[in-house]
Amino acid sequence: MTAPLARLNLFRGFLGRIDDGTLYAGDGRAVRGEVRESLIDLLLYHRPFLEEETGLTWPYRELARRRPFLEAEARQGKTPFLRQQARMFLALLPFPGQWQWLMQATGEMGNDTEIRDFLSLERQRIEDKIHRKPQREFKLHNFCQILKRPNLPGEKGILRIFSLPYLFAERDLLRRLNRFYILYIEPPWGVLARHAWLRTFAQMDDPAVIGVCGREDADFLAGQSGIVTTRLAHGDFLEEQPLPPARAKEFDLVFNASFDEMDRKRHAFMLNLLARPPLDRVTALFIGRGSEANVATFRTWVEERGLGDRVVVLANLRRNEVPDQLSRCRIGVLTSQNENGCRGIYECFRADLPCVVTSSMAGCNFELIDGRNGLVASDAALPGAILTALHHPETFSPRAWFLHHSGSRLSSLQLNGEMKNLFSRLGYAWREDIVPLGSSGATRYVDEAHYAAFRAEFEQLLEIMKPCLPVRLSL
Dump the DSSP string for 220-266. Answer: HHHTSTTEEEES--GGGGPPP-PPPPP----EEEEEE--GGGHHHHT
Distance CA 13, CA 272 (A): 34
pLDDT digits (tens, 9 = 90+) for 369-386: 999 999 999 999 999 999
Residue type, 445: Y
Q: What is residue 137's predicted lDDT score, i.e. its pLDDT?
A: 84
**Gap between the terminal Cα atoms of the chain:** 54
Q: What is residue 1's predicted lDDT score, i.e. its pLDDT?
A: 47
Residue type, 138: F
Q: What is residue 184's predicted lDDT score, i.e. its pLDDT?
A: 98
Residues of the chain with CATH 3.40.50.2000: 251-405
Q: What is residue 472's predicted lDDT score, i.e. its pLDDT?
A: 80
- CA torsion sign for 294, 299, 303, 307 is positive
DSSP 8-state code for residue 301? H
Neighbour-count burial for 189-210, b at 16+ CB within 10 Å, e otherwise = bbbbbbbbbbbbbbebebbbbb
In this structure, the number of other CB atoms found within 10 A of the CB of residue 124 comes to 10
Distance CA 449, CA 165 (A): 25
Distance CA 15, CA 390 (A): 44
- CA torsion sign for 441, 446, 452, 453 is negative
Q: What is residue 204's predicted lDDT score, i.e. its pLDDT?
A: 95
Q: Which of 46, 39, 7 is nearest to 266 (CA)?
A: 46
Is the CB of residue 285 less than 8 Å from the CB of residue 314?
A: yes
pTM over 0.85: yes
Distance CA 161, CA 145 (A): 7
Q: Give SS3 for 59.
A: helix
Q: Going from the first residue of the chain to its last (475 residues), give the mean pLDDT of each consecutive group of 10, the final group possibly shorter.
A: 88 97 94 95 94 96 96 95 96 93 90 92 88 82 94 96 91 95 94 79 95 93 92 96 93 97 97 98 97 98 98 95 97 96 96 98 94 97 98 97 97 98 98 95 87 94 87 81
The domain covering 251-405 belongs, at the CATH homologous superfamily level, to Glycogen Phosphorylase B; (3.40.50.2000)
Q: What is residue 442's predicted lDDT score, i.e. its pLDDT?
A: 77
